[in-house]
Structure 1
Amino acid sequence: MNLSLEYLIREPKIKQEKNPLLLLLHGYGSNEADLFSFASELPDEYYIISARAPYDLQYGSYAWYAINFDADQNKFSDFEQAKVSRDLIATFIDELIKTYPVDVKNITLVGFSQGSILSYAVALSHPEKVKNVIALSGYISEPIFEENYKNNDFSKLSIFASHGTVDQVIPVEWARKTKPFLDNLGIESTYKEYPVGHGVAPQNFYDFKNWLLQH
């Protein structure tokens, strides 16, 4: 079966009737091999699948949506492309469930940067598909959510968000709005900061892994 997105997979080392799934979503200008380097450090019972974003930037770089600059060097995101990617990821989850013996009640999205922005969009638009989100160095972008997302049932959704305090790509101030936003929707969440730039500190990795084991 040809799936909607290209991906790398690590099968669970401990096979169960249904295994939980960790779906990794990389950042802008990266590819599916990037976060997959974490795979060996992640719990043995998970399917670990790292998806490649659909928009090709050439030379092994991909994006979930375009980031454009205007004449004054202001950045703006292509929300229409982002919505297409949101729906692609939601479809991809359904395809993975049909292809592998995945526990549909235990699917976690792990996103970095643009992948993290998309993880929020998928989980809040389709909380019935996602149990946990680990959002690294991203922020909430409400324009790319499904229109009536506030009517969704978020009671089973949990989110771990983290950010570097000296992030030069996505200002930490944007990430700090995450917890109040999620609290307002009644979504259980943890927010942490680390003294790093646009990347994942070892302590950050350790913390989200521990959080995952508890959830």
Structure 2
Amino acid sequence: MTTSTWNPTVVWNRPDEQRADTPLLVLFHGYLSHERDLIGLAPMLPEEFTLASVRAPHALGPGFTWFPLLNEPDYSFDRVARAVDDVIGWLEGVRARHSSVTLLGFSMGMAVATSVLRRRPDLADAVVGLSGFAIPAEGDYFDDAALREQRPPLFWGRGDIDQIIAEPLVEYTTGWAQEHTAATKMLYTGLAHSINPPEMGHVSEFLRHQVLAADARR
């Protein structure tokens, strides 16, 4: 059990009284963005899901960040771990109400989603990563051995002209995803560091087949 007193700002797509026993889809925004960004994807996602869009803990510039960029001098893996542990503490407080938990992250938000999965493979049923990456492991913080045994479903979509995520991170994420998850990897022609309707169509299909169908079998 992770001890956390973090009480994040969260935007939900439905009122509290309508959330019980629904599949939960937690949204993690990217660098310098905010919790109202990804909630705009709601019309393109299966209506069965309760969406919770979470604000990153650190105000920066026009928005918020989960931790410093990997190439910044104040970056450290410890700062990643603190952010991830806070998310885990919050998730432990909400997951019991829901039939399943799926994590969706854009850009740095994908790093958060995959890091939560790697730290606590028991907390998420599936992960969706959009134009993002996984954090290179340090020490024994991640439980990748347990993850390799479970191989949960992962959707990873990105554009072929995305200039934001450095190629070494893409290569690392590719190797990690292939070794530890049941990965669906999609590359979109002409897409930069963004999301497009074809990708969201594939995300919705993934969520229906990998999450809603599994919920129905329980």
TM interval, shorter chain, is 0.7 to 0.9
What's 2:173 paired with?
A: 178
- Tell me by how many angstroms 1:150 deviates: 2.7
The amino acid across from 2:14 in the alignment is E
| 1:16 positional shift | 8.0
2:134 aligned counterpart, secondary structure:
coil
Q: In structure 2, how many angstroms separate the alpha carbons of the residues matched to 1:68 and 1:130?
A: 25
Q: 2: CA distance between counterparts of 1:135 and 1:202? A: 15
Q: What displacement does 1:179 show?
A: 3.7
Q: Would the alpha carbon gap of residues 125 and 92 (structure 1) be closer, same or farther in structure 2, given more than 3 Å must change?
A: same
1:180 deviates by: 3.1
Distance 1:76 1:170 in 2: 19
Q: TM-score, normalised by structure 1?
A: 0.84
Q: Tell me the CA shift for residue 21 of structure 1.
A: 0.2
Q: Does structure 1 residue 214 correspond to structure 2 residue 209?
A: yes
Q: Which secondary structure does the structure 2 equivalent of 1:21 belong to? A: strand
Match of 1:65 in 2: 67
RMSD: 2.7
State how far apart, in whole Å, the 2-side matches of 1:122 and 1:23 are.
11
Count of residue correspondences: 204
Normalized against structure 2, the TM-score is what?
0.83
Contact 2:14 2:50 in 1 (8 A): yes
Q: Helix, strand or coil for the counterpart of 2:12?
A: strand
Gaps (5+ residues) in structure 2? Answer: 211-218
2:105 maps to a residue whose letter is G
Counterpart of 1:169 (choices 156, 164, 167) is 164
| From 75, 86, 89, the counterpart of 1:88 | 86
User: Structure 1, unaligned stretches of length 5 or more?
Assistant: none
Choose which of 77, 82, 104 in structure 2 pairs with 1:79. 77
Match of 2:9 among 3, 6, 10: 6
Tell me the distance in 1 between the aligned counterparts of 2:209 and 2:61.
39
- The corresponding residue for 2:121 is 127
| Alpha-carbon distance between aligned partners in 1 of 2:106 and 2:206, rounded to the nearest angstrom | 16
Summarize the alignment of residues 112-151 of structure 1 with structure 2, pairs less than 5 Å apart.
112-143=106-137, 147=141, 149-151=143-145
SS in 2 for 1:110: strand
2:41 match: 38
Conserved in 2, the CA contact under 8 Å of 1:179 and 1:189? no
For 1:203, which of 186, 198, 207 is the aligned residue? 198
CA distance in 1 between partners of 2:40 and 2:138 (Å)? 28
1:140 match: secondary structure: coil
Higher strand share: 1
C-alpha offsets along residues 190-212 of structure 1, whole Å, 9 cap, x if unaligned? 11111211101211111111111
Choose between structure 1 and 2 for higher RCO, CA contacts under 8 A separated by at least 6 residues.
2
Hey, which bits of structure 1, 4+ residues long, moved more than 6 A? none
